[in-house]
Amino acid sequence: MNLDWDDITHVTKIDPAKDLPRDIGVLSETDAIIVGGSDGVTAENTLAVIEQIGEAVPSIPILQEPYSSDHVSTDTIDAVDLLAIPAVYNGDREHFVGKHLDLFTEVGNKPEELFGTGLPVLGDLIASKGLDAVARMADKIVGEGYVIQNIESKAATVSGVETAYTTEQVAGAALATEAFYGFPIFYLEYSGTYGGPEEVEAAASHLDDATLVYGGGINSRRRAREILDAGADAIIVGDCFHEDPEQFRATVPS
Amino acid sequence: MNLDWDDITHVTKIDPAKDLPRDIGVLSETDAIIVGGSDGVTAENTLAVIEQIGEAVPSIPILQEPYSSDHVSTDTIDAVDLLAIPAVYNGDREHFVGKHLDLFTEVGNKPEELFGTGLPVLGDLIASKGLDAVARMADKIVGEGYVIQNIESKAATVSGVETAYTTEQVAGAALATEAFYGFPIFYLEYSGTYGGPEEVEAAASHLDDATLVYGGGINSRRRAREILDAGADAIIVGDCFHEDPEQFRATVPS
């Protein structure tokens, strides 16, 4: 599926290890949903959430953003529209390219005698149906050039991020995305803290084809507006979806 | 300049630290030229070679492939059609993304008060003319997803390559290029040794948009043919250009 990022301004990030709010119908106000998290996430709880959301709001695109191959199964891959895979610029080699190569080496080399077995393999990321399935899965993957700015976050620990980027480095990573790595998405992740507009502006000045998304601490109409006005193409709202439906509604641009 | 890689089958790699052969007119038989090397390469000797070739065969596209920022100046950038920058899959983080981020952070943050000074700065990779020049330089850059297979080579040492890839890993890196990193070029580099067709076939099975190039030990019509028949879009011929014009001519597909 080719998502049109021009139509997407508000994205909800749902953590499968956290409780869903009572009224998930509020999701009808968002443009896309990303399912992902760190602690306590499994392929099973991810699939359960995807299925529940898919039933509640069937017309909203759903992406899975796995931090680990444990989060993924052939069932989760089949259930989502896209697999958004972070490549963390300010992390270690493993989390920019190492694990990605492991994934693609597995995907690219599955022997064809597994054609048609259809067995989901926990932790194994491919649909075992030969080269066509390889191409299909590869089409479902969208790369995210990621900068993790909250170094206290679990995401930072997992990805080997030791320092946040300066505004100049954020601009450089954005330009690298636009000019060299070609990820469709450039993602500024502040994980529950509010980073403000300055780095969004710096990144936006170098991004054209790539979609600029910002996540972190968006819990009000004012913050949502500030980040979008600074040049973000889309805001990612996570915590207040789980914790405060009124706050969540306020973040949706009118 | 947008090079049409569909038209390119034979590429000559010229090392500015090595002597040029007496008759450089033989270059009229190649489709494109890459100027680059390791030991003894400087921005000055690179520029000298580019200018000499540009005079001898003005219609052949010339790319610079720098391994170090010492190889590049605003003059070499202006003189070539494209800057081909390797991102080495089987090297260290520095040579896949670290140095690239340094480059783009410099390029993306040059203060506008340097507008119009036009001073070439050795080791400094940007044309100091503001955001337009940033976009122009970024347009000139083409990324190469690189696999270095000769671990005795200088290229391997410089890039932190400790082991060659298996055929399966080559396939995985090719798929990662096609599906995730989006480099226009996937480059199998054997640096003076002959790797043969097996890994070329493995890579070719996963490449569609990206151009597959192979370099290493091509010194005969037979080897040129074997690599192209295995699925390479283009062969890179280096050593025999410097050492044996008859051998070089034989590598050009008829």
Count how many domains chain A has: 1
Q: How far apart are CA B184 and CA A182, in angstroms?
A: 10
Contacts of B132 in chain A (CB under 8 A): none
Report pLDDT digits (tens) over A127-148.
444 455 566 677 889 999 999 9
Query: What pLDDT shows up at residue B121?
Result: 41
With H, G, I as helix, E, B as strand and everything else as coil, classify residue A33. Answer: strand
Closest CA relative to residue B67, chosen from B12, B144, B175? B144
CA A192 to chain centre: 15
Question: For the segment A56-68, what is each residue's pLDDT rounded down to a tens digit?
Answer: 999 999 999 988 7
Mean pLDDT over the full length of chain A: 89
Cβ neighbors of B159 (< 8 A, separation 6 or more) are B67, B86, B88, B91, B92, B95, B146, B148
From A246's Cα to the closest Cα of chain B, the distance in A is: 38
d(CA B13, CA A83): 39
pLDDT in tens, B112-157: 444 334 333 422 444 444 455 566 677 889 999 999 999 999 999 9
Q: Which of residues 69-128 of B touch A (CB under 8 A)?
A: 85, 87, 89, 92-93, 96-97, 100-109
Question: Helices in B67-219 by DSSP H: which ranges?
Answer: 74-79, 93, 99-108, 131-140, 154-159, 167-176, 198-204
pLDDT at A138: 76
SS3 B179: helix
Of chain B residues 206-235, which have a CB less than 8 A from chain A? Answer: 206
Give the one of A109, A168, A179 whose C-beta lies nearest to B141's C-beta: A179
**Mutate which of A105, A161, A168, A207 to test chain B, going by most B C-beta atoms within 10 A?**
A105
Q: How many whole angstroms separate alpha carbon A181 and alpha carbon B87? A: 10
Mean pLDDT by groups of 10 residues along chain A of 254 residues: 86 96 95 94 95 96 89 87 96 95 84 42 40 69 96 94 97 94 96 96 94 97 98 97 95 93
CATH of the domain at B31: 3.20.20.390
pLDDT at site B106: 82
Distances (CA, A) of A226 to A27, A52, A192, A211, A234: 22, 32, 16, 17, 12
Helix (H) or strand (E) run with residue A234 in it: strand A234-237
What pLDDT, on a 0 to 100 scale, did the predictor assign at position A1? 54
Distance from the Cα of residue A82 to its chain's centroid: 10
Cα-trace Rg, chain A = 18
> Is residue A176 less than 8 Å (CB to CB) from chain B?
yes
Using a CB-CB cut-off of 8 Å, the residues of chain A touching B181 are 97, 143, 181-182
Please name the residue of chain B whose CA is at the shortest distance from the CA of residue A173.
Answer: B101
Chain B residues with CB under 8 Å of A178 CB are 138
Question: Could you tell me the residue range of the domain that residue A23 belongs to?
Answer: 5-250
The shares of helix, strand and coil residues in chain A, as percent rounded to the nearest 5, are 45, 15, 40
Cβ-based burial of B55 (10 A; exposed 0-12, middle 13-18, buried ≥19): exposed
| Geometric angle at alpha carbon B200, from B82 and B3, rounded to 5° | 20
Cross-chain residue pair B175–A107, CB shorter than 8 Å: yes
B171 interfacial to chain A (CB closer than 8 Å) = yes
| Cross-strand pairs, A189 | A148, A215
Mutation site, A175, A205, A207, A208, interface B, largest B CB count within 10 A: A175
Interface test with B, best of A89, A93, A104 (most B CBs within 10 A): A104
The segments of chain B whose pLDDT lies below 50 read 112-130
Q: Which residues of B touch A106 (CB under 8 A)?
A: 172
Give the span between the Cα atoms of B61 and B82, in whole angstroms. 8
Q: What proportions of chain B, in percent to the nearest 5, are helix, strand and coil?
A: 45, 15, 40
Contacts of A89 in chain B (CB under 8 A): 97, 101
